[in-house]
A and B are shown apart, each in its own frame.
Chain A
Amino acid sequence: MTASSQDDTQRNMTCGSPEHSVHRRLFLEGTVGVGAASAASFSGLFSVPAFAQQMNDKAKRCILLWLCGAPSQFETWDPKPGKRTSGPFGSIPSCLPGVHVSELMPKCSTILDKMSIIRSMSTKPSEHFQGIDTLTRGDAPRPPFQRPILGSVLAQQLGQLDSPVPQFVLLDPCPEGNEFKSFKAGNWAGWLGAEYGPVRAGGEYSIPNIDLPESLSEADHSDREALRSFLSKKFANDRKSAAAESYNAAFERVKGLMSCAPLFDMEKLPEEDRQRYGPGAFGLHTLQARHLVENGCPSVMVANGMPWDCHVLNHEIHQMLVPELDNVIFQLIGDLEDRGLLDSTLVIMMGEFGRTPFLNPARGRDHYPTAWSMALAGCGIKPGVVYGSTDNEGIEVSDEKVDQKRLFATIFSALGIDPHAEYELPDNFPTFHHVEDDAEPIREVLL
């Protein structure tokens, strides 16, 4: 490989080993300048024949920017300048006539015509754990049945199980985060099974133990792993154990992941990109998310502990966090558009609820599920729509309430997934659908 093509692959790698490091677009266009052997091994890697074709046909993907802890709608998408509930920040006009956003979001104000804002979110749970659970799974819990979280459903619906690229990645640098921590310990993939759970990375921007030790050849490892897998599958079948299945699924993942190790190496991303998104972990992980979807990962969730929970000093903290969010969204949407990926990549920006119109004595805003905002952009979303509204002070939704079911129906529809389709489940399960109660998607924000 020439020096220049190596540079190219640094930026556009698809997957692990050097022979796979081809520029995908060139490859798909049939103009890639590498030998036949490499090309053969590339197509061998993506072993589903339709895979490459589908990638070309704008396979759908989704990036969820999970703003855990719940940001304030007043300091982001639904400012109330001059009202009692407003807080110290003003609002600025956006590129959409008559639509204002918080002055903390100058960059997003210029690209609102590429996004849809929902200002009439209204949900029930007012505590984090319940809120996170409901807004990542799309429905209230119904024990003992565990609904999969959005990323897992998308991995199943949009992904290729035998793709070497992980089908659902969770990037989260922060191991703590109170309720989010307990949520993270939970069962993500639910009834879909552990193989649809996320590959988790973050923080160190690389994954420990991802390379074989020098003493071991790839062939040797693959032999012993085949035997391990054979023995373990028999065990999991005999014992019908979800725990054992989860164990086996995690080993299955190791195989694919090892071949994609460089995908997770932040150091390999261009410095210029890192500058634009950084320096915070949230920005860098969003950049990594872009990199992952570019390389065939259909579903990435970017979380960041739960910094948004501003019970104390709401304004000061939002003054720090919102400009970062503003920039990160701006960069992500711009990059996706430049790469021709925005039409096929849905970007969701939300937390588990909003924050109260009034300040508490610690000058914080508390949890407020009654009326809050979120944003969508990209795949299947009609650009430049502001849907729903709240009253003058943002206390109640005045127009077009949206609960988690309608939101999820909208998300699924945007990605071309039937929101009312039934899950295929064992006989002793009740009937479950992607979204229950025939909840209607919001047609107004859909293309």
Chain B
Amino acid sequence: MLNSFFLTSDAAFGPQHRTRLASKTREILFCAVAFLSMQWSAPGRSLSADDLPSDVKTVFAENCVRCHKAEKKSGGLVLEAPESIVAGGKSGAAIIPGAPGDSLLWKLVQPEGKPHMPPGKKQLDNSQLATLKSWIEHWEPPKPEAKPTTSLQESARITSWLPPPGVDPTLVIDLYIAHGCRERGVEQGPLCSDAEFIRRLYLDVFGRIPSLRERQAFLNETNSNKRDLWIERLSESPECAEHLAALWDTMLLGRSEGKLEERTAKGWHDYLKTAFQQNRPWNKVAEEVLLARGDSKQRGHIWFLYEQSNKHQEIAESISRGFFGVDIACAQCHDHPVSPEIKQAHYWGLVGFYRRGRNEGVPNGIAVAESAIGGFEDYANALTGETETLELTFLKAKTVEEQRPEDPAKQKDDDDFYVEVDKEARRPKFSRREKFVTEILRDHPLLARAMVNRWWGLMLGRGLVHPVDKMDSGHPPSHPELLDWLAEDYRQSGYDNRRLLQALLRSHAYQSVASGAGPPDSFANGLVKPLSAEALLRSWSQILNPKLNQDLGSTIRQHFPEILAEEEQTTLKQTLMLSNHSRWNEFFRFESDSVGESVRNLERENPEQACTQIFLVAFGREPTEAEMKKVVSILKSKETEWQRSVQQILWALLTSAEFRFNH
């Protein structure tokens, strides 16, 4: 099957794409194909980390895994994954496939079971029993030689079939997307036009539409490789770093109007900007930010923890979401109900790593000091009321050992516990934060996967795992092998953001016409992407007036807060604002000197030309015949009120769906 995929996938690129590939690249492509098909005939692997039917998983999750989980292993049995179920417990096999009557688990969940399961009065109801019975009757357990998997997605990663280093990720992306389309029976769309491409690229990379001059410069370029050239040029520009810094600021710390100035003043924004401008390895950035130490005046990276001022649960949730792509908020009170691999122990483990931190001012600026004692508080499971002991662990079967004082509450602080650092906040010899960075974060597979997925989501309109902060077993990736490959490639490239970004931008999937045909998660065609508040502001400002950002920045950000929403839904609040907000409407009035030159100086004598000009400015394209007719009729019908007509037309263009979305 796989061989046939490679024989046919090339055809799926279509002629335009093929001419775009330099011949040398094509050679590499075919080498890669040969290599891939060879390696791929290796024994099959389980794509899904969790092969239990969801209804069975639910029965187990709700009734059994509180005790029968990897951490507790009551009776030696773990009911979390097929492999652990096959392995059975201390009393032997729990399940005899095909024979419920002989299966120990089945016997014990009966009302007369001894010992009755679940313990106590609770009896599984008839439909839960029916679920289990039919599953046992039909279950085909994984073969014993199969590699055991944990249920987190990263376990699906295997390295034996990776194409050799140096293969352009774009080629791999194109292969997998083409393959996925064939499997789904979807036709891949053609590449978009140059005019569409340049607008799309500016919006994604600079967070604004191109000016008329910038657009024309690209269209006039004769080099056949010009898309690649522009991708390179734009993604290396400081304006790109600026835009990315704003995006990541929001994605990591959320929208908080009151904090924006401080984020700039305290160097956080510059820190992110430099990280993207210098293309610093993302793992290093993550380590710096999450260790939050500094001996010099360069302290922007400390702001991430500092802003969340000692709110350790918020800190844990934001770290998990921002750097691991996993939303753990659900596991605060109990193990995650739908994705059982996310434990309550992970939630409190991550809180534990950061619980000893405290904001401090030091001569060099801000710091987050760390205490050497305390932070052993137990947590309670809300479903059972049981008290659990905190362990330093997170989304990985690894627990950092720490010496626990006999009575943590009575432990006295001591200078001996600390490393001496001049002018710096106290730093303990055993630093939980440092342990988190060196033993949990470093090389954690989700660090690369989450970042790859986030880049993918930003550029392609939705994540391979969607939404991007729910990388759990409840949200399987649309293209698992591709995500595996890209994450591994990203890791091996030294967490090279620019390499990944450029690869995504060069891909056929990115450059397809945004026709909306086919299921969105096939990436067969480009997706329509809503502009972020920042991109709206910058694009509107470019046409109307730079003052817009200053006057309406806060309003627009509050009305359009989302970045990569799970599903884009326009709210009435947004459309009412765009219709009626008084300051916003002022920006369309010639009297208020707000409207920019490109529109202000339209050719009044020639309405057709004026119409074309205003469409080019706003949409980066010429009007269709019908549009021309409509707009010209407005301009002509109100000749005496030229300005009012232009204002109306401009408002209609800048609030239209075509402007609201990148396409």
Contact = CB atoms under 8 A, between A and B. Distances in A.
Contact of B580 (A211, A236, A238): A211
Given A227-B652, A232-B658, A311 B382 contact: yes
A1 interface: no
Interface stretch (B235-243, B300-308, B511-519, B595-603): B511-519
Contacts of A396: 125
A194 B657 CA distance: 15
B658 A213 contact: no
Interface in B611-663: 624, 626-627, 630-631, 634, 644, 647-649, 651-653, 655-658, 660-661, 663
A405 to B, nearest CB: 14
Contacts of B576: 207-210, 254, 257
Nearest to A197: B569
Contact of B649 (A130, A194, A227): A227
Interface in B504-531: 514-517, 519, 527-528, 530
Interface in B551-589: 565-577, 579-582, 585-586, 589
Interface in A270-293: none
B625 to A, nearest CB: 12
A236 B657 contact: yes
A250 B571 contact: yes
A126 B334 CA distance: 13
Contacts of A362: 382, 385
A126 B382 CA distance: 14
B194 interface: no
B338 interface: yes
A428 to B, nearest CB: 9
Interface of B: 62, 125, 127, 333, 337-338, 382-383, 385, 514-517, 519, 527-528, 530, 565-577, 579-582, 585-586, 589, 624, 626-627, 630-631, 634, 644, 647-649, 651-653, 655-658, 660-661, 663
A215 interface: yes
Contacts of B568: 242-243, 246
Nearest to A245: B657
Contacts, number: 158
A228 interface: yes
Contacts of B385: 360-362
Given A209-B576, A209-B580, A250-B575, A127 B338 contact: yes
Interface of A: 124, 126-127, 130, 144, 185-187, 194, 197, 199-200, 207-216, 220-221, 223-225, 227-228, 230-232, 234-236, 238-244, 246-251, 253-254, 257-258, 311, 360-362, 366, 370, 396
B59 to A, nearest CB: 10
B593 to A, nearest CB: 14
A235 B658 contact: yes
A247 B630 CA distance: 22
Given A127-B338, A186-B567, A223-B634, 5 more contacts: A185-B565, A223-B648, A249-B570, A366-B383, A370-B125
A199 B514 CA distance: 29
Nearest to A366: B383
A215 B582 contact: yes
Contacts of B660: 244, 247
A446 B139 CA distance: 43
Looking at A127, A228, A249, the one whose CB has the most chain B CB atoms below 10 A away is: A228
19 contacts: A187-B569, A208-B576, A213-B581, A213-B582, A220-B644, A228-B656, A232-B656, A232-B657, A235-B658, A239-B514, A240-B516, A242-B568, A243-B530, A246-B569, A248-B657, A254-B576, A258-B579, A360-B385, A361-B385
Given A127-B338, A235-B657, A239-B528, A250 B570 contact: yes
Nearest to A395: B121
Nearest to A231: B656
Contact of A227 (B528, B570, B581, B648): B648
Given A186-B567, A254-B575, A243 B661 contact: yes
A209 B581 contact: yes
B381 to A, nearest CB: 10
Contact of A210 (B565, B580, B630, B649): B580
B620 to A, nearest CB: 13
A209 B577 CA distance: 6
Contacts of A216: 585
B627 A231 contact: yes
A230 B630 contact: yes
Contacts of B656: 228, 231-232, 235
A187 B648 contact: no
Nearest to A215: B585
Contacts of A250: 570-572, 574-575
A179 B627 CA distance: 45
A254 B572 contact: yes
Contacts of B663: 235, 239, 241
Contacts of A236: 657
A227 B572 contact: no
B634 A254 contact: no
B632 to A, nearest CB: 12
A270 B631 CA distance: 47
Contact of B571 (A126, A200, A213, A360): A200
Contact of A243 (B337, B528, B577): B528
Contacts of B655: 228, 251
Nearest to B637: A223
Contacts of A249: 570
Nearest to A221: B579
A231 B644 contact: no
| Residue among A144, A211, A231 having the largest count of chain B Cβ atoms under 10 Å | A231
A247 B530 CA distance: 10
Nearest to B648: A224
A238 B517 CA distance: 10
A113 B565 CA distance: 47
A12 to B, nearest CB: 25
A229 B136 CA distance: 57
A233 B382 CA distance: 50
A240 B626 CA distance: 20
A361 B516 CA distance: 53
Contact of B572 (A185, A199, A230, A239): A199
Across the A-B interface, give the 3 residue pairs with the lowest CB-CB distance, nearest first: A240-B516, A361-B385, A224-B648
Contact of B651 (A194, A212, A224, A251): A224
Q: Which of B655, B657, B663 has the most CB of A within 10 A?
A: B657
A361 B649 CA distance: 65
B384 to A, nearest CB: 8
A231 B516 contact: no
Contact of A241 (B566, B572, B661): B661
Contacts of A251: 575, 579, 655
B191 to A, nearest CB: 16
Contacts of A210: 576, 580
A230 B658 CA distance: 11
Contacts of B569: 185, 187, 194, 197, 243, 246
Nearest to A214: B582
Q: Of residues B516, B586, B627, which shows the largest number of chain A Cβ atoms within 10 Å of its Cβ?
A: B516
Contacts of A200: 571-572
Contacts of A144: 519
Contacts of A248: 657
Nearest to B663: A239
A363 to B, nearest CB: 10
Contacts of A311: 333, 382
Contacts of B644: 220
A91 B147 CA distance: 59
Contacts of A238: 515
B580 A213 contact: yes
A144 B567 CA distance: 12
Contact of A257 (B528, B572, B585): B572
B567 A187 contact: yes
Contact of B579 (A194, A225, A234): A225
B631 A227 contact: yes
A266 to B, nearest CB: 18
A396 B514 CA distance: 53
